[in-house]
Structure 1
């Protein structure tokens, strides 16, 4: 049965819950399994840095979906407005920002050199995230657009409408601005995005075909369409 979650802007108190959701959701990915740190705490720290970055990036919008009755956090999405001429954002850049600003004390902040030094395959990680950034700039150039940097839901609510609501939240703003939208889709998420009008513009094959990532673009619609 489809859920009707409540959506709201995230607060810093949601960071750890969002990081845990992303950590669990992406753990089965061949990419993540290949590059993730051996230590569970460090892997979670990377996701915490990525989520934390939303509160240091002026054009980032972190929205959470929660159960209306219990208040349980079910998922979240990070939408970023990229201004004309701006450098394109991405997960790796967010991790760098979040790693430097993700805590209130020196002990809580995790330096990115320390985090990247614990990644399972740093060379591949740099290649993968570098390719993401290159493809993003290749297809979007420096024109203004909305970017769905990250979306994640709990396993038990997948296919029940939470992800759809989080995508709709962003697309209301995309269409209100008459803007184009961009994202990178996993094999599991591609179908959802295609239903909202995103089109595959490239296929990036990794790990001898074990993982195929698809940059996707949604053309701008006139305001009110």
Structure 2
């Protein structure tokens, strides 16, 4: 199946939030984010606010055949000499703020501690519509950022759930750390969730 890679537009954001909620059915996403109008509005505003932020590269994979958005991605450009920010936002009404603070806080600190001020491209978020998963849209979006990193001889960093690790390993990422969290709230009952931190070394052969 063929896909075109295009810049994400403001008009695409509602569709992207729908894709995100459909793609992320793991205990962490379900525990953090009830699928309510207030949470959806928060996600739409967050993407809209960050769409034109310095260094943020939001892209969409569009089916050439149907014109439908198959997935979207946010790559953050390399910032040599800048330590990743570990500050957290204010969470939306209805979200499990305690779980969000615990997990996103730990993940942000791990990003900061693992990468420090070394320049790197950061794959912050990627989501593919379940109807298009396994057909190449996700790989296309990921490879775009890896090509940028290779062109600049930079590392790449991402966070991953265990079921995505093999995909990222095939792209050259290797595990650099992990955090396990016990999730127990009204939506998710007593489940351990693992998040993994992965780094892809700079590809000096392409420089």
Q: TM-score, normalised by structure 1?
A: 0.82
Give the RMSD, CA atoms, in angstroms: 2.0
Q: 1:167 is paired with a residue of what secondary structure? A: helix
Aligned residue among 60, 66, 76 for 1:80: 76
**CA distance 1:67–1:184, change in 2 (3 Å):** same
The Cα shift of 1:78 comes to: 0.4
Residue 46 (structure 2) aligns with: 50
Q: TM-score, normalised by structure 2?
A: 0.88
Q: Is 2:83–2:116's contact at 8 Å kept on the other side of the alignment?
A: no
Aligned residue among 94, 98, 103 for 1:118: 94
**CA distance 1:223–1:10, change in 2 (3 Å):** farther
Q: Is 2:2–2:65's contact at 8 Å kept on the other side of the alignment?
A: no
The Cα shift of 1:209 comes to: 5.9
Moved more, 140-149 or 53-62: 53-62
Q: For structure 2, which runs of at least 5 residues remain unmatched after alignment?
A: 183-189
The Cα shift of 1:154 comes to: 0.4
Aligned residue among 147, 162, 165 for 1:187: 162
* Distance in 2, Cα, partners of 1:221 & 1:175: 5
Q: Runs (4+) of structure 1 moved beyond 6 Å?
A: none
Residue 32 (structure 1) aligns with: 29
Q: Is 1:82–1:88's contact at 8 Å kept on the other side of the alignment?
A: no
Q: Is 2:180–2:195's contact at 8 Å kept on the other side of the alignment?
A: yes
Q: Is 1:80–1:148's contact at 8 Å kept on the other side of the alignment?
A: yes
For residues 169-192 of structure 1, give each alpha carbon's deviation from its aligned partner in whole angstroms, at most 9, with x where no partner exists. 111111011100000011222111
Q: Which has the higher strand share?
A: 2
Residue 127 (structure 2) aligns with: 152
The Cα shift of 1:86 comes to: 2.6
- For the pair 1:133 / 2:108, whether they are aligned, the reply is yes
The Cα shift of 1:118 comes to: 2.4
The Cα shift of 1:57 comes to: 1.2
**CA distance 1:138–1:6, change in 2 (3 Å):** same
The Cα shift of 1:87 comes to: 4.2
Q: Provide the aligned length of Structure 1 versus Structure 2.
A: 200
**CA distance 1:209–1:217, change in 2 (3 Å):** farther
